[in-house]
């Protein structure tokens, strides 16, 4: 059962590691200043912390579902095995969420994310577009968007979990069956 939880947690970790790094050398000094102004207007650090807090709130449910689906792998678990799985999940998920919380709220991590955001915005937006975004986020509608983005992100994760995970798990179960049958 611990193996299934470990696999589920490792899968979750992949969500944070699949984005390629941005080349910060390609950003002009003017673009860097304008993007920094945008991030300040968006209250980037505060929004990131609130978003991560919302994500951490739904994480135990996501981890439980993912681990349970992985453990079942298309088969029915006995009541005893189901109880063991639940006991393992209840033991390790709170610790995993706590440790993950420490990582995603670490000021050094937030500072590094902010540094990485500058070339990201420079890659997708022009100087005038970044200025336009800054102006938008200073409006009442922009402020509203900033305030609801953390909850919107958490709700989006929950929807993705509900809609995508059963399908993704079905694909993984097929792959596992093929792997096991080829041995």
Tens of pLDDT, residues 6-53: 444 444 444 444 445 555 568 999 999 999 999 999 999 988 888 888
Instruction: Express each pLDDT in 46-83 by its tens digit.
Output: 888 888 888 788 888 878 777 777 777 667 778 888 88
Instruction: Express each pLDDT in 130-155 by its tens digit.
Output: 999 999 999 999 999 999 988 888 78
Q: Is 83 exposed, middle or buried (0-12, 13-18, 19+ CB in 10 A)?
A: exposed
Q: Please, are residues 54 and 150 in contact by the beta-carbon 8 Å criterion? A: yes
**Closest listed residue to residue 145, CA positions, set 3, 19, 47, 39:** 47
- Binned at pLDDT 50, 70 and 90, residue 181 comes out as confident
Instruction: Express each pLDDT in 74-130 by its tens digit.
Output: 677 788 888 888 888 888 888 888 888 888 889 999 899 999 999 999 999 999 999
Phi, psi of 140 (to 5 degrees): -60, -40
């Amino acid at each position: 059962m611990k193996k299934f939880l470990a696999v589920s947690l490792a899968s979750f970790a992949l969500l944070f590691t699949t984005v390629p790094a941005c080349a910060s050398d390609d950003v002009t000094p003017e673009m860097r200043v304008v993007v920094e102004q945008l991030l300040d207007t968006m209250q980037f650090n505060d929004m990131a912390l609130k978003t991560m807090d919302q994500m951490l709130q739904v994480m135990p449910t996501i981890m439980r579902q993912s681990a349970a689906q992985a453990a079942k792998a298309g088969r029915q678990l006995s009541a005893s095995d189901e109880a063991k799985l639940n006991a393992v999940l209840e033991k390790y998920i709170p610790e995993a969420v706590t440790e993950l919380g420490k990582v995603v709220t670490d000021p050094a991590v937030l500072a590094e994310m902010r540094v990485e955001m500058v070339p990201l915005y420079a890659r997708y937006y022009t100087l005038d577009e970044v200025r336009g975004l800054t102006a938008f986020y200073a409006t009442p509608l922009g402020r509203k968007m900033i305030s609801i983005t953390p909850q919107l992100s958490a709700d989006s994760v929950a929807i993705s979990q509900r809609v995508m995970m059963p399908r993704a798990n079905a694909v993984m179960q097929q792959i596992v069956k093929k792997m096991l049958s080829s041995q």
